[in-house]
Structures are given as C-alpha cells and as structure tokens.
A = this chain, B = another copy of it.
Amino acid sequence: MVSRPFDLLNDALGKEALIILKAGRSVRGVLLAFDVHMNLVVDDAELTEQDGTVKKLGRILIRGDTVVIVAPSP
C-alpha cells in the first residue's frame, strides 16, 4: 500500500519507469534517484520528443518541475 506519493518513487528505484514531461516529451528508463523537488536521475534513458523522434541519452537528470507523471513498470 502507498501511503504517501513519494513512496511510489521509493518503490520504483532500480526499476523501469515511463516519465511524462511537460511540452509533449517523455522518458523511459531505470529510476536511480529522486529528491523532494521530484528531480529524477534515470539510467538508460530514452527520450521521445513531441514529434516522435527518439534519442538515447544514457544517464540523465530530469528537473522536477518538468515532470507530469511517473509511471513505474508493473
């Protein structure tokens, strides 16, 4: 059971997740770290731009205020 929203991020550490960002971007990769601002570190990150182009970016930092949804893989 998740009792606080950030518990979901904690449970997702080391697992694959889809992260939907503002402005039509999304990132798929393995969640490695997060902080209270929802800044995220994602490994093996694959960025999909609004126009559908995909870029492999390796290990990245995502700024928290651009995050809309974090969806860990089940």
Instruction: Tell me whether A68 and B5 are in contact in the complex, defined as CB-CB below 8 angstroms, given that A58-B74, A59-B74, A74-B59 are known contacts.
Output: no
Interface residues on A, range: 35 or more
CB of A32 to closest CB in B, whole Å: 5
For the complex, give the distance between the alpha carbons of A67 and B25 in Å: 13
Fill in one digit per residue for A2-28: 1 if any B CB lies within 8 Å of its CB, else 0: 111111110000000010111101010
User: Which residues of chain B come closer than 8 Å to A61, judged between CB atoms?
Assistant: 5-6, 8-9, 69-71
Q: Is the Cβ of B58 less than 8 Å from the Cβ of A62?
A: no
- By a beta-carbon cutoff of 8 Å, the part of chain A in contact with chain B is 1-9, 18, 20-23, 25, 27, 32-35, 38-41, 45, 47, 57-74
